[in-house]
Chain A
């Protein structure tokens, strides 16, 4: 993907959602009021994070068989970019929770499990720091990354459904589909998801290129 059209598309979509998300009309609902606009800024962060972590697992699997250094750098840099989006998702969620639930961090399963799944990836980065030898580091961290991925899926998608959560779409609370009767929100939400995923991918490619240049300099 060396072409530039998708970068322009991604930036355009994110600018469009920032403007349209704050200006276009939304359904007026009790408690939520205008905070419903957070949907455009909070949910796409998780989509971008999931996509980046999936890219990372893909390259971890690849690096186990190919043993190439490039695949290893791709795996770690997509985790780095994914963590940024995960933390942003936690922050946007916490700010929204302050105005609707009354607290930044109320003991909500959805928040807790999301935080734990971010911890998984911090553990991955620390594991990388603990090993000095490059090939060994690539192999062992790839194994941990693949081992942790199904657990992250369980944490984010399965466990919150077993518990009572205040989060929209969980524990009997309606998701955004039921609010959005006239499809006005869809016009912003879907472009926002696509835009942020493209931006996340762009961040990852830039980080990957910086890292490979640094590596080349070290080897020379």
Chain B
């Protein structure tokens, strides 16, 4: 119960801080929109459905690395000490992950809307399944990147380390996501996608469990 209270308080703190400055959400939103627009200007029109799908996930990958890595990399020593004294490590990790998932959900939803608006030739026939893929994507990106950004921030060597460490871990997840999203683009019935959805959920649970086990060691300096 103590844990739930701490998590709730910390999420409230994160949202409040974000609401006051609105820096991360607006920054990453502008990043996504300008990337999509750059792609639109350089591709003009996309050749087929596969490229449409792949391009969307590549844009989302880079946007989420930028968005989620803020969570630990940008905190000052004082802020970290504040939550260190106040809450248990598990609460810090869970609250960051939940907050990042919410952030990514808002972001990917807006990005998907803008993406289908600009590249309107291949809107997936099964939009609900595509949105399921987007939700699962936001979840997996935030579970993996939150832990990796904690590792990168403790190593004290920001951006490049974050990319190197997270890519090999996220690639298998990304392959599953692209496969699931492709099923939606092809308009296949839902039965064909249960394998991927189950696999993504299992990977997420695995990542959260290992993060929860390891984070206390990382957090204590």
Asked if A87 lies at the interface with its beta carbon under 8 angstroms from chain B, I say no
- Count residues of B near A (Cβ-Cβ below 8 Å): 29
Least CB distance from B145 to A in Å reads 12
**Stretch among A7-15, A71-79, A143-151, A168-176 lining the B interface:** A143-151
Asked if A181 lies at the interface with its beta carbon under 8 angstroms from chain B, I say no
Question: What 0/1 readout, one digit per residue, does chain B (148-184) give for beta carbons within 8 Å of chain A?
Answer: 1001001111000100110111011001100000000
Question: What 0/1 readout, one digit per residue, does chain B (202-221) give for beta carbons within 8 Å of chain A?
Answer: 01001100110110011000
Q: Are B217 and A64 closer than 8 Å at their CB atoms? A: yes
Least CB distance from A133 to B in Å reads 9
Which chain A residues lie closer than 8 Å to B155 at the CB level?
127, 130-131, 136, 140
Which chain A residues lie closer than 8 Å to B213 at the CB level?
146
Q: Are A143 and B168 closer than 8 Å at their CB atoms? A: no
Which chain B residues lie closer than 8 Å to A154 at the CB level?
172, 203, 206
Asked if B50 lies at the interface with its beta carbon under 8 angstroms from chain A, I say no
Q: Are B217 and A126 closer than 8 Å at their CB atoms? A: no
Q: Are B168 and A140 closer than 8 Å at their CB atoms? A: no
Asked if A43 lies at the interface with its beta carbon under 8 angstroms from chain B, I say no
Q: Which of A131, A139, A162 interacts with B218 by CB under 8 Å?
A: A139
Which chain A residues lie closer than 8 Å to B218 at the CB level?
139-140, 143
**From DSSP, what is the main secondary structure of chain A's interface residues?**
helix
Known: A64-B217, A139-B218, A143-B217. A130 touches B157 (CB 8 A): yes
Q: Are A146 and B210 closer than 8 Å at their CB atoms? A: yes
Q: Which of A126, A139, A143, A151 interacts with B169 by CB under 8 Å?
A: A151
Which chain A residues lie closer than 8 Å to B148 at the CB level?
147
Q: Are A162 and B172 closer than 8 Å at their CB atoms? A: no
* Complex alpha-carbon distance, A23 and B148, angstroms: 50
**Stretch among A29-37, A115-123, A193-201, A206-214 lining the B interface:** A115-123
Which chain A residues lie closer than 8 Å to B188 at the CB level?
none
Asked if B147 lies at the interface with its beta carbon under 8 angstroms from chain A, I say yes
Within 141-197 of A, Cβ neighbours of B (below 8 Å) are at 143-144, 146-148, 150-151, 154-155, 158-159, 162
Least CB distance from B158 to A in Å reads 10
Q: Are A150 and B175 closer than 8 Å at their CB atoms? A: no
* CB-based nearest B residue for A65: B217
* Complex alpha-carbon distance, A113 and B154, angstroms: 29
Known: A130-B161, A150-B210. A116 touches B168 (CB 8 A): yes
Q: Are B199 and A158 closer than 8 Å at their CB atoms? A: yes
Which chain A residues lie closer than 8 Å to B171 at the CB level?
116
10 closest Cβ pairs, A-B complex: A120-B168, A119-B168, A130-B157, A143-B214, A123-B164, A131-B155, A151-B169, A116-B171, A123-B165, A64-B217
11 A–B contacts from the bound complex (CB under 8 Å): A123-B164, A127-B151, A127-B161, A131-B155, A139-B217, A140-B154, A146-B213, A147-B148, A155-B172, A159-B176, A162-B196
Binding site for B on A (CB under 8 A): 64, 113, 116-117, 119-120, 123, 126-127, 130-131, 136, 139-140, 143-144, 146-148, 150-151, 154-155, 158-159, 162
